[in-house]
Amino acid sequence: MDYMKFILLISFLYAVIHILFSSLNRKNTKSPKLPPGPPCYPLIGNILQLDTSNLPQSLSKLSQKYGPIMTVKVGTIKTVVISSPTLAKETLHKNGPALNTRFTPDSVKALSHEEASVLYMAVSPKWNAFRKVCGTKIFSSQNLHSSQSLRREKLKELILHLKENCREGKGVDIADATFTTVLNSMSNTFFSVDFARYCSVSSKKFRDVISSVLVETSKPNIADYGSIFSRFDPQGARRRMRSYYQVLLADFESIIEERLQKKDPIEGSDVLDSLLEYTRKEKSELTCNDLLHLFLDLFIAGLDSTSSTVEWALAGLLQNPEKLKKTMKELQQVLSKDGELTDSDINKLPYLQAVVKETLRLHPPGPLLAYKSVAEVEICGFRLPKDATVLVNVWGMGHDSSIWTDPNLFLPERFLEGEDNLREDIGFNPFGAGRRICPGVPFAHRVVHTMLATLLYHFDWKLADGQKSEAMDMTEKFMVTLSKGKPLMAIPVKE
């Protein structure tokens, strides 16, 4: 369905419902005082002023005119947009209890996923159990340290794949290569198996399904505008999402079933063993079905965002040769001749860390953080009604000239001030904040740094097809995460 048909359908459906039930809306109740915002059209709100394919940038432009806290209407839904670090901190911390619930797109509700999703379910004992197993059974320092040999093995396989392309002078789809590496790093950590091979059908299947899920989640959907629309799934989003979920869940379910049928399981040999042991305990809050949905969340949230960050970082360096030389020089000074990199080596590479931070500032994996108010809440003198949608524009804060000097330039040096710049109070919160901060940050931190270092230490790089660095296409593609619009094709030219 194209954009104009979408708008017209919303207008028609709303008009019909408004006529039928107008008498119910004539109560003399005083509306909460909302922040200012652009004038909107009846029925469709500000839809014509918003570019949904480039939503973070579109909202950022509006906020420059209407302020760091503003109200826009998507159809008839009031949405408050936060574009200030100070207000974001107040929103996510001071008003945490009222804003601890994520906005859940209707498409996500396929197979009742929202009821067992650590990303979307409301704060509850079950949600706390999910967060607990993420912190103690999956992403704890001890678990990540014990599994780093698996991740190093996957990096060696990446090097072999790149060597083949190097000998043949072939360009490498960086997003595809990094995606497969992250996929196998996760599948081995969780299940002790590879899910894919480079340039294989299995890798393409996973990437296509994950991409489809992210696209479906970010699409404008009439069903998000009210329960009456949700009942009918008029655009078929939930139906399509169900098929994507089923592809991934079938793989996870077969692995769990096989593990459960083993007579003598090796306790604690991988994440799955540890989680199955946890579910067998008396009064365990989680079931095997909950584990399926947890893995669904972790793979959807972790694969594209992690691999895209590596792609963006390499693209930024190739576009800025002097920054590339500084990064490679640091790696040559710190790493041994075999280029073996451990997680502990990351702390010895401040410029590499600065490159990653600058990449996350420019291209945050979660450009918009969406919440739903469960009660009326006051922010900066304004009162947000219950059930309002609250968007924190992380992309906008990363490109705000009042916070950053030359915000559109790739300048890793801005993060070499000797302080921890991974803080939301200076406009840098690429992983969210508060109780809803991404639980996989420790894993992503290790994988992004070690993979980028591996790419840069073992190979020099040039753009494919004779492309010049200054002409590189750096267009962003918004689909919940922020992917590169045109894939980076680069040739590994030598070791």
pLDDT digits (tens, 9 = 90+) for 129-179: 999 999 999 999 999 999 999 999 999 999 999 999 999 999 999 999 999
pTM of the model: 0.90
pLDDT digits (tens, 9 = 90+) for 455-489: 999 999 999 988 888 889 999 999 888 899 999 99
Model confidence band, residue 8 (pLDDT cutoffs 50, 70, 90): low
| 349 has a pLDDT exceeding 50 | yes
Give me the pLDDT at residue 1, please.
Answer: 47
Domain presence at residue 443: yes
| 337 has a pLDDT exceeding 90 | no
Domain presence at residue 37: no
Comparison of pLDDT for 417 and 108, the residue scoring more: 108
Model confidence band, residue 424 (pLDDT cutoffs 50, 70, 90): very low
> Which of 1-10, 164-173, 177-186, 256-265 shows the lowest mean pLDDT across its residues?
1-10
Contact 52, 10 (CB under 8 A): no
pLDDT digits (tens, 9 = 90+) for 188-220: 999 999 999 998 898 999 999 999 999 999 888
Comparison of pLDDT for 412 and 378, the residue scoring more: 412
> Which of 14-28, 372-386, 411-425, 434-448 shows the lowest mean pLDDT across its residues?
14-28
Q: Tell me which residue range forms the domain holding 256.
A: 56-494
Handedness of CA 314, 318, 320, 323 (dihedral sign): positive
Give me the pLDDT at residue 494, please.
Answer: 79
Crossing angle of the two packed helices 201-218 and 174-191, in degrees rounded to 10: 100
CA angle 212, 215, 220 (to 5 degrees): 135
Give me the pLDDT at residue 300, please.
Answer: 95
Domain count, the chain: 1
If you average pLDDT over residues 309-335, what whole number do you get? 96
Contact 453, 127 (CB under 8 A): no
Domain presence at residue 218: yes
pLDDT digits (tens, 9 = 90+) for 353-367: 999 999 999 999 989
Domain presence at residue 217: yes
Domain presence at residue 294: yes
Q: What CATH number has the domain bearing residue 444?
A: 1.10.630.10
If you average pLDDT over residues 263-274, what whole number do you get? 74
How many CB atoms are closer than 10 A to CB 264?
5
| 266 has a pLDDT exceeding 60 | no
Domain presence at residue 237: yes
How far does CA 229 lie from the centroid of its chain?
A: 27
Domain presence at residue 29: no
Handedness of CA 115, 252, 482, 134 (dihedral sign): positive
Q: Mean pLDDT, the chain, as a whole number?
A: 87
How many CB atoms are closer than 10 A to CB 24?
7
Domain presence at residue 28: no
Return d(Cα 269, Cα 189) in angstroms, integer.
10
How many CB atoms are closer than 10 A to CB 17?
14
Give me the pLDDT at residue 319, please.
Answer: 96
If you average pLDDT over residues 405-411, what whole number do you get? 95
Tokens for 78?
Answer: 């009031």
* Residue spans of alpha helices (H) in 281-424: 288-319, 321-334, 350-362, 394-398
| 260 has a pLDDT exceeding 50 | yes
How far does CA 86 lie from the centroid of its chain?
A: 22
Return d(Cα 446, Cα 149) in angstroms, integer.
12
Return d(Cα 489, Cα 469) in angstroms, integer.
12
